[in-house]
C-alpha cells in the first residue's frame, strides 16, 4: 500500500513574512485516497490512485479534513459536497465509525463559524441528522472527539 509523506506539510504556517513552526501529523503517511481529498496534482498519475479522480469529481467531493481518516472514520453518504433539500427537511450523514467516536454536526450560515443549530447524533454514533428549517445556503460543519474539525458539506435549502 502506498502512503504519502510530504516533507513540508504539517511543519507550520506562514503569516505575512513570518513562518511559525507548528508540527502536527495530519498528513504523515497519508493514504492517497485521503490525500486527494484536498490536493489535486496537475498530472493524474500523481494521485497514486488505481482510478484517478477527474477534476469534476475532485470539486464535487465533500470537504473533509485528514483528521477524519486519522480517527479511522469514513463518510459513507452523502458523497457530494453540495446538496439541495426542501425547507423543513433533514439531511442524514452516515459514517463508518469502528471505534464509536462521538461525531457531531452543526448547521450554520455560510460565514458564521461560531453559531449554529446542533444536529442529532444516533445512539450508535454512525449517523448525524441535521434539520434544515430555514431557506438559504447553509454549511454543515462536522466535528469529532474533543471538537476536532472534520470538514463540511453545503446545503441549499429551498
Phi, psi at 56, each rounded to 5°: -65, -45
Asked if residue 36 is part of any domain, the answer here is yes
What is the span of the domain harbouring residue 39? 1-61
**How many other β-carbons are positioned within 10 Å of the β-carbon of residue 138?**
25
Rounded CA-CA distance 142/151 in Å is 5
Give the CA count within 13 Å in the CB-facing half-sphere of 75. Answer: 28
Asked if residue 67 is part of any domain, the answer here is no
Question: What is the tens place of the pLDDT at every residue in 57-88?
Answer: 888 889 999 899 989 999 999 999 999 999 99
On whether both 78 and 107 belong to a single domain, the answer is yes
Reported residue count of the chain is 158
Asked if residue 123 is part of any domain, the answer here is yes
Rounded CA-CA distance 19/157 in Å is 41
Asked if residue 68 is part of any domain, the answer here is no
Residues 146, 148, 149, 153: is their CA dihedral positive or negative? negative
Question: What is the tens place of the pLDDT at every residue in 27-57?
Answer: 677 787 877 777 888 898 888 889 998 988 8
State the pLDDT at residue 86. Answer: 97
Rounded CA-CA distance 156/132 in Å is 9
Give the mean pLDDT of the chain: 88
State the pLDDT at residue 3. Answer: 65
On whether both 77 and 152 belong to a single domain, the answer is yes
State the pLDDT at residue 136. Answer: 95
On whether both 91 and 28 belong to a single domain, the answer is no
Name residues whose C-beta falls within 8 Å of residue 43's C-beta, 6 or more positions apart in sequence: none
Number of domains present in the structure of the chain: 2
Residue 92 — very low, low, confident or very high, per pLDDT cuts 50/70/90? very high
Amino acid at each position: 500500500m502506498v502512503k504519502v509523506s510530504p516533507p513540508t506539510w504539517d511543519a507550520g504556517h506562514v503569516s505575512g513574512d513570518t513562518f511559525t513552526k507548528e508540527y502536527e501529523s495530519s498528513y504523515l503517511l497519508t493514504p492517497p485516497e485521503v490525500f486527494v481529498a484536498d490536493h489535486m496534482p496537475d498530472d493524474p498519475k500523481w494521485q497514486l490512485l488505481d482510478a484517478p479522480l477527474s477534476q469534476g469529481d475532485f470539486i464535487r467531493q465533500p470537504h473533509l479534513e485528514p483528521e477524519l481518516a486519522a480517527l479511522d472514520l469514513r463518510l459513507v453518504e452523502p458523497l457530494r459536497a453540495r446538496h439541495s433539500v426542501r425547507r423543513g427537511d433533514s439531511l442524514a450523514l452516515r459514517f463508518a465509525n469502528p471505534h464509536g467516536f462521538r461525531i457531531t454536526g452543526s448547521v450554520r450560515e455560510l460565514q458564521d463559524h461560531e453559531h449554529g443549530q446542533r444536529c442529532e447524533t444516533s445512539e450508535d454514533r454512525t449517523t448525524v441528522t441535521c434539520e434544515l428549517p430555514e431557506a438559504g445556503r447553509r454549511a454543515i460543519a462536522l466535528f469529532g472527539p474533543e471538537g476536532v474539525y472534520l470538514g463540511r458539506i453545503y446545503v441549499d435549502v429551498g
